[in-house]
């Protein structure tokens, strides 16, 4: 832990934000004076209620959580990961942030339902096989006007020209530059935090953007994506704009995704195991795709975790409706970009931008892992539009949770307690959602039925 102490002393840090991602990917934790943080780090004093890991996105808790937490009032303690300590660049006072793992007392290990632990659990399965997964996320988001009344629809913000975007400007360079002051700060903030973002492009929606990450270790990239969401929201608010990672924030516009490019290296040699030296697909590559095809529909609560998520998965809106695969085909759920053998990969296009990046990456890698272990065979790659073929993904979160619970192969990978926790939390959110009467219902049913 000396590296954390050195970081704080060298930069004369006043406060430290201790962060843990909850199930929804929300940053929970504590803010402490630097000297109290260091003291707590040394004696297991960075305590937090275990219940934060089953807190719903609307701030409630399941009625009966005895099966997934140690006790309703029990604390766990946060263990800062030295690799994740960074400056928080938007504060005036010197402030650090550090991502933590959550541990039980009495040496009983990490909290089994914590999102970061789930990803590490999946990566350990790969390590046992001598495999090293590599990922590169792509995150889409919308910029919208400040919206303080949830009954009003979201609208694009006014750019430098003084006008709002009303038409789709996919890949429009000048359309991105409408919000250049925001993105200058995003790049500055990311550089200060060591967040390795790559390309910025305008996506197909009005004021919808995408930022790509350079490929690397899955835990490192999940940490960066977790911090990136917070960074973009902060930069936008400094310019009186909201940045939203909702999967489908606006009617008539495309949804926002979190595509995950993934490949597998030999842990000893670093060779890409998805392609032969002559560029042919390997049997392991095909088994990985087959695992994604079979199991991704069963882990959708990790990739599409909210009721809003399933509004995105509609044909002709650049989102998949099934798990067909193809070469450089953007209508399929699993796209294989044209590449050199060393860069052979598959792009999982199912996850929404609203997903917890730790769980989305863990879910995607888990499905590929099962395919390789079970030596599954994929269906043939398709050409042309996958939208002409049957929909095989869940249509609602209800359907997704039923499949998630009913798939035996997932339980050894994630642990039964985690599967129960996801079901419990998402069930609670669905119950809350069902109590809300929408404007559509009032408009079309009030006087007509």
pLDDT (tens digit per residue) in 426-440: 999 999 999 999 999
Q: Which of 168, 215, 151, 430 is closest to 306 using CA atoms?
A: 430
Mean pLDDT confidence for 376-403: 96
Domain spanning 2-111, CATH architecture: Roll (3.10)
Q: Where are the beta strands (DSSP E) in 176-286?
A: 197-202, 208-213, 241-244, 258-266
pLDDT(341) > 90: yes
pLDDT (tens digit per residue) in 18-55: 999 999 999 999 999 999 999 999 988 899 999 999 99
pLDDT value at residue 315: 86
* pLDDT bucket at 318, cuts 50 / 70 / 90: confident
Residue with tokens 């539009």: 385
pLDDT(63) > 90: no
Strands 27-33, 15-21: pairing kind: antiparallel
Domain spanning 122-414, CATH architecture: 2-Layer Sandwich (3.30)
pLDDT (tens digit per residue) in 274-303: 999 999 999 999 999 999 999 999 999 999
pLDDT value at residue 166: 82
- Which of 66-80, 208-222, 372-386, 420-434 is predicted least confidently? 66-80
pLDDT value at residue 74: 84
Strands 334-336, 325-327: pairing kind: parallel
Q: Is 207 left (phi over 0), alpha (psi -120 to 50) or beta?
A: left
* pLDDT bucket at 65, cuts 50 / 70 / 90: confident
Neighbour-count burial for 319-348, b at 16+ CB within 10 Å, e otherwise: bbbbbbbbeebebbbbbbeebebeebbbbb
pTM of the predicted protein model: 0.96
pLDDT(171) > 80: yes
Token pair for 19:
């962060």
∠ CA 400-56-34, nearest 5°, is 130
pLDDT(62) > 80: yes
Rounded CA gap, 298 and 275, in Å? 27
pLDDT value at residue 66: 76
Q: Please tell me which residue, 232 or 278, carries the higher pLDDT value.
A: 232
pLDDT value at residue 107: 74
pLDDT(72) > 60: no
- Which of 25-39, 57-71, 199-213 is predicted least confidently? 57-71
Mean pLDDT confidence for 332-340: 95
Each domain of the chain, given as residue ranges in start order, spans 2-111, 122-414
pLDDT value at residue 167: 75
Mean pLDDT confidence for 389-418: 96
Q: Which of 151, 65, 156, 150 is closest to 111 using CA atoms?
A: 65
Q: Which of 79, 126, 140, 194 is closest to 362 using CA atoms?
A: 126
pLDDT(70) > 90: no
């Amino acid at each position: 832990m000396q590296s954390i102490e050195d970081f704080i002393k060298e930069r004369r840090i006043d406060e430290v934000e201790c962060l843990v991602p909850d199930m929804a990917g929300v940053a929970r934790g504590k803010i402490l004076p630097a000297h109290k943080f260091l003291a707590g780090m040394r004696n297991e004093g960075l305590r937090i209620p275990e219940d934060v890991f089953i807190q719903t996105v609307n701030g409630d808790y399941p009625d009966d959580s005895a099966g997934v937490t140690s006790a309703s009032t029990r604390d766990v303690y946060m263990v800062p990961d030295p690799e994740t300590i960074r400056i928080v660049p938007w504060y005036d006072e010197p402030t650090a942030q550090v991502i933590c793992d959550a541990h039980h007392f009495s040496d009983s290990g990490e909290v089994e339902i914590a999102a970061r632990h789930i990803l590490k659990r999946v990566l350990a399965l790969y390590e046992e096989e001598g495999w090293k997964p590599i990922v590169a996320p792509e995150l889409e988001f919308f910029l919208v006007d400040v919206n303080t009344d949830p009954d009003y629809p979201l609208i694009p913000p006014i750019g430098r020209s003084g006008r709002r975007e009303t038409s789709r400007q996919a890949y429009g360079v000048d359309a991105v530059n409408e919000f250049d002051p925001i993105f200058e700060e995003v790049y500055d903030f990311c550089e200060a935090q060591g967040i390795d973002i790559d390309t910025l492009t305008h996506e197909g929606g009005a004021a919808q953007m995408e930022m790509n990450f350079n490929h690397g270790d899955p835990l490192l990239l999940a940490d960066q994506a977790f911090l990136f969401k917070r960074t973009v929201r902060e930069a936008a608010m400094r310019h009186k704009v909201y940045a939203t990672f909702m999967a489908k924030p606006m009617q008539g516009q495309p949804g926002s995704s979190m595509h995950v490019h993934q490949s597998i290296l030999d842990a000893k040699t670093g060779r890409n195991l998805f392609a032969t030296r002559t560029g042919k697909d390997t049997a392991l590559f095909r088994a990985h795709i087959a695992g994604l095809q079979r199991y991704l529909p069963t882990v959708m609560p990790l990739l599409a975790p909210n009721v809003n998520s399933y509004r995105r998965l509609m044909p002709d809106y650049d989102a998949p409706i099934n798990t067909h695969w193809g070469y450089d085909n953007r209508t399929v759920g699993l796209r294989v970009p044209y590449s050199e053998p060393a860069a052979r990969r598959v792009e999982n296009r199912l996850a929404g931008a609203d997903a917890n990046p730790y769980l989305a990456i863990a879910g995607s890698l888990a499905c590929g892992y099962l395919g390789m272990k079970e030596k599954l065979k994929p269906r043939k790659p398709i050409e042309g539009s996958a939208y002409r073929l049957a929909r095989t993904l869940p249509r609602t979160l209800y359907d997704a949770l039923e499949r998630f619970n009913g798939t035996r192969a997932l339980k050894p990978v994630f642990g039964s307690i985690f599967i129960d926790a996801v079901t419990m939390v998402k069930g609670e959110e669905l119950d809350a959602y069902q109590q809300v009467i929408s404007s559509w219902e009032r408009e079309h049913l009030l006087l007509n039925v």
